[in-house]
Chains A and B, each alone.
Chain A
Amino acid sequence: MSATRPSRLTTNRRQFLSQTSVALASVGLVGVPPRWTTDPPDAPPAAITSPAGQRIIQRTLGRTGITLPVVSMGVMNANNPELIKQAYEAGVRLFDTALGYQRGRNEQMVGDVISRLGVRDKVIIQTKVPFPQAPAGEIKAKFLADFTGCLERLQTRYVDILLIHQPSLEEMDHPEVRDALTELKRQKLVRFVGVSQHRNQADALRNAAEGGFYDVALVGFNITNAADGGFLAAIRTAASKGVGLIAMKTQAGGRARNLGTLNQTAMLKWVMQHPEMATSIPGYTNADQLAESFSVASGLEFTADEKAWLADKSVLAGLDFCKQCGACLPTCPKGVDIPTLMRTHMYAANYANFEHARATFDEIPAHASLGNCVGCEQCAARCVNNVRIAERVADLKAMYA
């Protein structure tokens, strides 16, 4: 059994190590300046023209000054390097990957394609490193070591945007990680730093906006957030403070959630109709999906079909429904039976079946009833599907007052 990777990569790795060894050593805090053959660009990539001659809507990514088409590429689930090439040729300029995707294979594929195409100076590479699981005092070194692996797999001397992958608020502020990120920027191994966040997104955005340390935030944003006032306010604040915002999960987990026929372009347009979002990283795995997604970069106005789809209440119910998973139960300090309350709300609000709603409501034992929902300044209950629990509980209280 062979124990070697393809030789081209081996060669590239050797070249890479040779060319950047001093730079990497300097990241190890020796303080020696990197020996660049070419520096990371100070200016954003040149303006993009679509091969088909269509207009491409571009926006500036906050204080980074990078200008990007409103549609980029989340590479995570792509299994074919040619799709990255096709995306580049279509006009995509930001490619999002992570150390953790396919245990590095994803980064390797991105680096391989960009290297082959010879377009490193024309694209933005965004990757992610998680907060290290290491003892205090070793966190910075582990983070730097992990990032070194990213550079190697990506076959690049620098990364445009490095995100901490899903940090807690404490981890965002952790001095060792901040030291590491500062050092990487100083050494020009990273141009901009940021966070990628699935949880506590509003708090993470507020942290980025107030602290001024993070240049970019990658957040899950889609139509299910439409009424999430706290999150929307945080988005506006972060954008106003110069944090570059990139939207992920733009399809609301649609493909994985098996929500039936989703109108992908309508959902993506809805996201990018928010001017605070500079770009988005929908995932696509074939050429048809690429064409469909990137068509949004040519026009954000809804078509008649898209408007009709968005007006279908069953669509919205599907996107914002309680699946009775029970994940919210531990999040309520009062022990209220939230899943049954959500079912009650669904029968009343979505199906107008008030008799069944009442019967469902009456199923709840006293110790977990709505009457126990008192005393909290702000509802602590959280839903993994973005169901607006507090809002629905308020509706039910109004109903049953």
Chain B
Amino acid sequence: MKNAGLIGVLLACMVWAGCSGNQTGTRNDQALSSAPAAASAERISDSAGENPAGEGAAGGPAAPQLVALLPADGQVAGWTPSREPRGFTADTLWEEIDGAADSYVAYGVEDAVFADYRQSGTGHEAVVEIYQMKDPLNAFGKYADERYPDYAFVQVGNEGYAAGNLVNFWTGRYYVKIRSLAENDAVGEELMKLARSLAGKVTAPGKEPGELAFFPAKDQVARSARYIPKDVLSQSYLTDAFQVEYKAGQKTSKLLLISLASPNTATDALTRYRGAVARDGKNIRTITAPGDGGFAGQDGFYGNVAAVRARNYMAVALGTTTEDVGKAQLAELIRNIR
């Protein structure tokens, strides 16, 4: 029926002119009905993260600057491209990695390339993924979003980690992921050769965000730092945050530094966040320091919480062993900013 409707409209307009083209009703019927169609249109989108076989979407032409980073044919330890590189943009990345694209978009992905390689001799197969983010901060952010403090870190690019069948690292504006279908030590070494070749082509590798130096060093969990561009603490109004984890005895906690547009915006954000915490928090009360003050108490998940404002920043300590520990961390953090 739907087909008949659309065809009818089209046939009626076969004179190629003078048709008002009022197909609104027809189009709505398509979307709102579940009438059988002439043929199915199954999704064939794919996800690298969800499909270890790497059978990705066809993609489009790869961005030249990303292609230039890819190892050329035979340039590195016999690795040879086995398929044309597939290019994606922020709008099309979901075709390759499906819902995982949301996170890359949040970190400002601009272009991505997926390239398949095969190594002569060994027969190893690898997929090289390069994500070009809008700046080094977001490249670090996406990389850190996927790292664990207890990974085996390697010196490639700014920082990377390796497991049996993958090497992930970030350098400059790029987050690079290289993975193999096989999992053994031998392939890991071969993947590292690809990684080092690629990292060597990035002339401006950048460095970790300077804000991380503001965080107190005592009890800091190494390589736990993250950059969170949006939805910080599940609050849509909190963006641009750095987060570091701490461990004291058996207790872990978090310290966050959130950058707002202005002191007034920071004050408003702090007020809204206090309201969110107070919904199931206990003993929530105003504190006047450190910084320009804020509130402290216990929230329903982390336990001790303290949040303050300093200039256009909001700083939050979550889950510390005592409230005083949290306030001391906040005080040091704010001192370091100044």
- Chain A residues with CB under 8 Å of chain B are 1-8, 11, 74, 76-83, 85-86, 89, 98, 100-103, 105, 113, 116, 128, 130, 133, 165-166, 196, 198-203, 220, 223, 225-233, 248-249, 253, 255-258, 270, 274, 283, 285-290, 310-311, 313, 316-317, 319-320, 323, 325-327, 329-331, 348-355, 357-358, 378-379, 382-391, 394-395, 398-399
* Bound CA–CA A329/B95 (angstroms): 15
Contact between B43 and A103 (Cβ–Cβ < 8 Å)? no
Complex partner residue of B146 from A74, A80, A102, A331, CB under 8 angstroms:
A102
Residues of A within 8 A of B95 (CB): 325, 327, 384-385
B216 CB → nearest A CB, Å: 15
Residues of B within 8 A of A395 (CB): 3, 6-7, 10
Contact between A289 and B182 (Cβ–Cβ < 8 Å)? no
Decide: A3 near B94, CB < 8 A? Known: A226-B34, A351-B21: no
* Bound CA–CA A290/B231 (angstroms): 12
B280 CB → nearest A CB, Å: 7
Listed A/B pairs (24) with beta-carbon separation below 8 Å? A2-B150, A7-B247, A77-B100, A82-B233, A130-B50, A165-B50, A199-B44, A223-B31, A227-B2, A227-B34, A228-B41, A230-B39, A249-B43, A253-B98, A286-B236, A313-B28, A325-B59, A331-B44, A352-B19, A354-B14, A378-B39, A383-B44, A384-B57, A395-B6
Decide: A229 near B37, CB < 8 A? Known: A7-B252, A76-B100, A199-B43: yes
Residues of A within 8 A of B330 (CB): none
Contact between B99 and A227 (Cβ–Cβ < 8 Å)? no
Decide: A77 near B50, CB < 8 A? Known: A226-B33, A287-B234, A313-B28: no
Residues of B within 8 A of A198 (CB): 43, 45-47, 50, 98
A355 CB → nearest B CB, Å: 6
Q: State whether the Cβ of B325 lies closer than 8 Å to any Cβ in chain A.
A: no
How does the 8 Å CB contact mask read for B21-44 relative to A, with 1 for contact and 0 for none? 101100110111111111111111
* Bound CA–CA A226/B28 (angstroms): 10
Residues of B within 8 A of A5 (CB): 148-150
Contact between B94 and A257 (Cβ–Cβ < 8 Å)? yes
Task: Report which residue of B47, B228, B231 has the largest number of chain A beta carbons within 10 angstroms of its beta carbon.
Answer: B231
State the majority secondary structure of interface residues on B. loop
Q: State whether the Cβ of B192 lies closer than 8 Å to any Cβ in chain A.
A: no
Contact between A391 and B45 (Cβ–Cβ < 8 Å)? no
Decide: A133 near B28, CB < 8 A? Known: A7-B252, A230-B40, A390-B41: no
A-B CB contacts (within 8 Å), total count: 287
Please report which residues of chain B, range 228-243, place their CB below 8 angstroms from some CB of chain A when the two chains form the complex: 228, 230-236
How does the 8 Å CB contact mask read for B9-23 relative to A, with 1 for contact and 0 for none? 111011111011101
Decide: A349 near B6, CB < 8 A? Known: A4-B150, A98-B50, A133-B182: yes
Contact between B52 and A220 (Cβ–Cβ < 8 Å)? no
Contact between B39 and A287 (Cβ–Cβ < 8 Å)? no
Residues of B within 8 A of A196 (CB): 50
* Bound CA–CA A200/B51 (angstroms): 14
Contact between B182 and A80 (Cβ–Cβ < 8 Å)? no
Decide: A352 near B13, CB < 8 A? Known: A230-B40, A394-B3: yes
* Bound CA–CA A14/B50 (angstroms): 29
Q: State whether the Cβ of B101 lies closer than 8 Å to any Cβ in chain A.
A: yes
* Bound CA–CA A331/B57 (angstroms): 11
| Closest residue of B by beta carbon distance from A351 | B21
| Closest residue of A by beta carbon distance from B226 | A79
